[in-house]
């Protein structure tokens, strides 16, 4: 990533984040209440490298971030090695297991694979600052919030594409270390 002049148009995080207005909603997991089958269906219906975890669909409060590959490995391990884990088992990212019906199958606890403090910026954060953060912290993605509610995600590739658009260059020709 090169000189800051490229950002003099002062774009904001909200201009670069996904989803765009016409895109499908952000694919998120809830910290409790989803089944193994539902999580698998969500992961398999997308190609995203990761998924934010929120308190609930309604609140959209950010709890953490899980990588696609960790989710798939842990679900596979759970199904194979953990007695009673089936498609209808609840996936739990909370510290304590929520109460369940007595006849419910055992839950699959996945808090251990969640990044508990994913990096976030607000929708109004200028892109030059966001890019600085990506560079300095070596981020692959960053979440975007508004008043504490999760709005979107920015990946390193999103930034490269955005810069290429601004400067009319091939994204691969832009240095990003």
User: Which residues are near ligand ADP by CB under 6 A?
Assistant: 18-19, 26-27, 47-51, 153, 155, 157-158
Minimum separation from the CB atom of position 16 to ligand ADP (A): 9
| Strand stretches in 83-137, DSSP E | 90-92, 108-109, 120-122
C-beta closer to ligand ADP: residue 120 or 155: 155
CB burial class (10 A; 0-12, 13-18, 19+) of residue 150?
buried
Minimum separation from the CB atom of position 69 to ligand ADP (A): 11
C-beta closer to ligand ADP: residue 34 or 85: 34
Minimum separation from the CB atom of position 175 to ligand ADP (A): 17
Minimum separation from the CB atom of position 108 to ligand ADP (A): 20
3-state secondary structure of 26: coil
Q: Could you report how far apart the first and last alpha carbons of the chain are, in Å?
A: 7
C-beta closer to ligand ADP: residue 74 or 141: 141
CB burial class (10 A; 0-12, 13-18, 19+) of residue 23?
exposed
């Amino acid at each position: 990533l090169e000189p800051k002049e490229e950002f003099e148009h002062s774009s904001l995080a909200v201009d670069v984040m996904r989803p765009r207005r016409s895109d499908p909603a952000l694919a998120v997991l809830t910290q409790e209440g989803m089944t193994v089958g539902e999580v698998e269906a969500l992961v398999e219906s997308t190609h995203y490298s990761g998924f934010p975890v929120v308190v609930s669909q309604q609140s959209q409060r950010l709890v953490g971030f899980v990588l696609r590959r960790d989710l798939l490995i842990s679900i596979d391990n759970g199904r194979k090695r953990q007695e009673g884990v089936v498609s209808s088992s609840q996936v739990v990212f909370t510290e304590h297991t929520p109460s369940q019906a007595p006849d419910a199958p055992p839950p699959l606890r996945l808090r251990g694979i969640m990044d508990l403090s994913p990096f976030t910026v607000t929708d109004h954060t200028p892109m030059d600052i966001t890019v600085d953060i990506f560079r300095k912290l070596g981020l692959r993605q960053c979440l975007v919030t508004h008043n504490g509610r999760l709005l979107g995600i920015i990946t390193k590739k999103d930034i490269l594409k955005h810069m290429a658009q601004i400067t009319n260059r091939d994204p691969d020709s832009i240095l990003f270390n």
